[in-house]
Structure 1
Amino acid sequence: MTTKVLFVCLGNICRSPTAHGVFAKLVAEAGLSDSIIIDSAGTGDWHIGRAPDERTQKAAIKRGYDLSALRARQVCSADFDQYDYVLAMDKSNLKDIRAMAGNKTNCHVSLFLDFAESSWQREVPDPYYGGEDGFDTVLELVEDGARGLLAAIQYAESSAR
Structure 2
Amino acid sequence: MRRDDATPLVLTICLGNICRSPTAEAAIREVAAARGMAVEVRSAGTGGWHVGAPPDERMTAAAAAVDLVLDGAAEQVTAEHLATADLIVAMDRQNLADLERLAASSGATTPIRLFRAFDDASLAAGDLEVPDPYYGGPDGFDHVVALCRAAATGVVAYLAGERDDPGPR
TM-score (norm 2): 0.86
Which residue of the other structure, out of 84, 87, 91, is the alignment partner of 2:86? 84
Of 121-130 and 106-115, more deviation after overlay is shown by 106-115
Supply the distance in 2 between the matched residues of 1:153 and 1:65 (Cα, whole angstroms).
Answer: 21
Preserved contact between residue 13 and residue 72 of structure 1 (Cα < 8 Å): yes
Q: Percent identity?
A: 42
Q: For residue 64 of structure 1, what is the amino acid of its counterpart? A: D
Q: For residue 27 of structure 1, what is the amino acid of its counterpart? A: A
Question: What is aligned with 1:27?
Answer: 32
Question: What is aligned with 2:14?
Answer: 9
Preserved contact between residue 84 and residue 106 of structure 1 (Cα < 8 Å): no
The offset of 1:15, in angstroms, is 0.2
Question: What is aligned with 1:40?
Answer: 43
Supply the distance in 2 between the matched residues of 1:44 and 1:75 (Cα, whole angstroms).
Answer: 8
Q: For residue 66 of structure 1, what is the amino acid of its counterpart? A: V
**Structure 2: gaps (5+ residues):** 1-5, 164-169
* SS at 1:127 equivalent: coil
Structure 1 residue runs of 4 or more that deviate by more than 4 Å after TM superposition: none
Preserved contact between residue 12 and residue 52 of structure 1 (Cα < 8 Å): yes
Preserved contact between residue 91 and residue 114 of structure 2 (Cα < 8 Å): yes
Q: For residue 144 of structure 2, what is the amino acid of its counterpart? A: V
Q: For residue 98 of structure 1, what is the amino acid of its counterpart? A: E
The offset of 1:117, in angstroms, is 2.4
* SS at 1:80 equivalent: helix
Preserved contact between residue 117 and residue 147 of structure 1 (Cα < 8 Å): no
* SS at 1:6 equivalent: strand
Question: What is aligned with 1:122?
Answer: 128
Root mean square deviation of aligned Cα: 1.7
**Structure 1: gaps (5+ residues):** none
Does residue 64 of the first structure (1) align with residue 67 of the second (2)? yes
Q: For residue 86 of structure 1, what is the amino acid of its counterpart? A: I
Count of matched residue positions in the alignment of Structure 1 and Structure 2: 154
Q: 1:137 to 1:93 in 2, by over 3 A?
A: same
The offset of 1:155, in angstroms, is 1.2
The offset of 1:133, in angstroms, is 5.2
The offset of 1:50, in angstroms, is 0.7
Preserved contact between residue 55 and residue 132 of structure 1 (Cα < 8 Å): no
C-alpha deviations, 1:136-159, integer Å up to 9, x for none? 1111111111011111111169xx
Question: What is aligned with 1:109?
Answer: 112
Question: What is aligned with 2:150?
Answer: 144
Supply the distance in 2 between the matched residues of 1:45 and 1:39 (Cα, whole angstroms).
Answer: 16
